[in-house]
Amino acid sequence: MKRRWFLASTAAVALATVGLTTACGGSQSGGDEAAGGGEARGGVLTMATSADYPPYEFVETAGGAEEIVGFDVDIARHIAEELGYELEITNIDFNGLIPALQAGRADFVMAGMTPTEERKQNVDFSEIYYDAKQTIVFQSGGGIASPEDLTGKTVGVQLGSIQEELANDLVETVPNVKLSPLNRINEIVQELKSGRIDAAIIEDTVAEGFLANNPDLEAVEIREDGPAGSAIAFPKDSELVSEFNRVLSEMESSGMMEELIVKWFGDRAE
Ligand code: ARG
């Protein structure tokens, strides 16, 4: 069972990567200089994201056209504009984001990504721009109040996420927990609703959005002290890191960040 998921997700990552290469094909001449960013691409910055994460990033279909929107996208657009770049966005599975940076196929990643020590060995991060907590999501009436209640249950997590790491730790401490790592958050929610998995670990703000649209689901917060929050990821030694940090801190002090938090998280903002 586990192996089947693994194979399925490998194929998905491979496909996504092909799509990405095509998308950037025209501007790759200076690809080796990915760390330098914009200049190598004629003033275009390529952001990679996994647009399955409302309100951070998701695909909105308005009038037949699909557009990637969200909190991260608004921040990225503002930073790109401030720094004089055009912005291109590519949508790939979360698990493929860091490989895309390492291969020079994107200048930065915004995907509600948490700056963990492990990831820092492969990419550089901006300052954290938003904080988060973890929750267990389950079908209403499922009676889950703490991680121990996951005994004997199948738990969905996004492949390559800190939630997957957290679930791996659970397997060590809670008896008979089975993991179901999936590529996209909406797949996880579907599996949960259909009863193919018993629970999922999802970040609070994202879980609350899904709960609002799915009254048959419930969530409980997990207390843990692992890494949390979102930062922007770059290829190692990218010169963009300091420029992005400068604009991020300007956004903090001008109140623009707060406005965007209220816009996208509304009364869920802390
Ligand atoms: N914050 C978590 C992590 O960094 C989950 C992020 C998932 N993001 C997404 N766009 N699906 O692992």
The residue extents of the domains of the chain are 36-130+228-268, 134-222
Same fold, 36-130+228-268 and 134-222: yes
Position in ligand 1 atom list of the atom nearest CA 49: 10
The CATH label, of 3.30.1540.10, 1.20.58.710, 3.40.190.10, 2.10.25.10, for the domain at 36-130+228-268 is 3.40.190.10
- Which residue reads 């960013």 in tokens? 37
- Per-residue pLDDT 10s for the chain (270 aa) are 222 222 223 333 333 333 333 333 333 333 334 444 444 445 999 999 999 999 999 999 988 899 999 999 999 999 999 999 999 999 999 999 999 999 999 999 999 999 999 999 999 999 999 999 999 999 999 999 999 999 999 999 999 999 999 999 999 999 999 999 999 999 999 999 999 999 999 999 999 999 999 999 999 999 888 888 999 999 999 999 999 999 999 999 999 999 999 999 986 555
CATH code of domain 134-222:
3.40.190.10
Q: Verify whether ligand 1 is closer than 6 Å to residue 162 (CB atom).
A: yes
What is the rounded end-to-end Cα distance, in angstroms, of the chain? 40
**Is the C-beta atom of 202 inside 6 A of ligand 1?**
no
259 Cβ contact list (under 8 Å, min separation 6): none
pTM for the model stands at 0.83
Tally of CB atoms within 10 A around 205 = 25
Dist. CA 28–CA 51, nearest whole Å: 23
Token pair belonging to 186? 């909406």
Cβ 145 vs Cβ 185: under 8 Å: no
DSSP 212: H
Whole-number Å distance between alpha carbons of 174 and 171: 6
